[in-house]
Amino acid sequence: MSRLTPKIDFHVHPVIIEEALSGDRRLEETVREVYHIGTAVQPLDALAKMLRVAGIDKAVLLSIDTPRGCLPPNDSLAAIIRENRMFIGFAGINPTKGDESIDELENLISQGFRGVKLYPPLQGFRPGDKRLYGFYERVQQLNVPILFHTGVSWIKNVKLGECHPLEVEKVVTSFPALKVVLAHMGFPWVWEAAMMAVKYENVYLDLSGVFMGTPKEHISYVLTKLLTPGFVSRFLADKILFGSDWPRIEPFKMVEAVKSIPMEKHVFDKIMGLNAVKLLGLGEV
């Protein structure tokens, strides 16, 4: 892949990667209980090869600080991003811990993490809670993005109503320099998420996840039937980030799904990687 047109998978969960789980069988069992994933544990090299086959140059690996612990642990994720330049780390932090959350944020960013993953209804908070504003302020100062889970969740005890993308609007308006990514295009609230990205300069959307049929059917529905290629080209070309949601979906299937959408090459290149490069401040990939 040309360095001028990189491909970046912005949404990968390394929860079945041997190196991320550090060989801890109890941690593997916890992952399966929380995420309901049956895929076998595999080495990091298998993921790297899968991404290369899909033509992907880099992938954002996400950790989430769940009530059952950080999955995967930030320490093991830090080791992966130190040793392999293909991977970018987003730290799992629960922002409800006050100064402790801020200290953890600063420590993990100093270790090379380039963003934060938050899953509000799983972590027991509403995004607009003013008690979290100190955390958001520090993230804004550090100039790294927050990826918020929005849209459908398969996790037990997570209420769908609390996953609505408009739950994040107070954060977006209170911290206009904070880079906010709404996961899964907010599906099924795609128009609400899209208009957040249109209205607010600091809001982005990731394409990850398949919630209806095959990847091609899902992406086609979202980008051609709901939003339409013309709307995407005119209003969202600089705001959409490619993502697979691996291990739930294979990256190459998502790449092929996006390729099947009728869009200009410059829009495709932005969605597939250039937007992520700019958002993350990567320079050359």
Q: Cis ω on the peptide bond leading into residue 188 (within 30° of 0)?
A: yes
Over residues 41-83, the pLDDT tens digits come to 999 999 999 999 999 999 999 999 999 999 999 999 999 999 9
Report percent pLDDT > 90 for the chain. 89
* pLDDT the model gives residue 156: 83
**What is the full DSSP assignment across 69-136?**
EEES-HHHHHHHHHH-TTEEEEEE--GGGTHHHHHHHHHHHHTT--EEEE-HHHHT--TT-GGGHHHH
* pLDDT the model gives residue 23: 77
Whether residue 161 is predicted with pLDDT greater than 80 in this model: the reply is: yes
Residues with Cβ within 8 Å of 190's Cβ and at least 6 positions away in sequence, in order, are 222, 226, 227
* Within-domain flag for 205: yes
CATH number at residue 217: 3.20.20.140
Residues with Cβ within 8 Å of 167's Cβ and at least 6 positions away in sequence, in order, are 120, 126, 127, 128, 150
* Within-domain flag for 149: yes
Over residues 227-246, the pLDDT tens digits come to 999 999 999 999 999 999 99
| CA distance readout (Å), 82 to 9, 51, 113, 151, 256 | 18, 18, 10, 32, 30
* pLDDT the model gives residue 285: 56
Whether residue 2 is predicted with pLDDT greater than 50 in this model: the reply is: no
Average pLDDT over residues 142-157: 94
Question: Do the beta carbons of residue 65 and residue 122 sit within 8 Å?
Answer: no
* Within-domain flag for 35: yes
Mark 205-217 as b/e (b = at least 16 C-beta within 10 Å): bbbbbbeeeebbe
* Within-domain flag for 1: no
Whether residue 85 is predicted with pLDDT greater than 90 in this model: the reply is: yes
* Within-domain flag for 63: yes
Report percent pLDDT > 70 for the chain. 98
Whether residue 249 is predicted with pLDDT greater than 90 in this model: the reply is: yes
Say how many Å lie between the first and final Cα of the chain, rounded: 10
* Within-domain flag for 229: yes
* Within-domain flag for 285: no
How many domains does the chain contain in total?
1
Average pLDDT over residues 86-110: 97
Average pLDDT over residues 107-111: 97
Average pLDDT of the chain, as a whole number: 95
Whether residue 4 is predicted with pLDDT greater than 90 in this model: the reply is: no
The range of the structural domain enclosing residue 98 comes to 8-280
Total-model pTM: 0.95
* Within-domain flag for 2: no
Whether residue 135 is predicted with pLDDT greater than 80 in this model: the reply is: yes
Whether residue 99 is predicted with pLDDT greater than 60 in this model: the reply is: yes
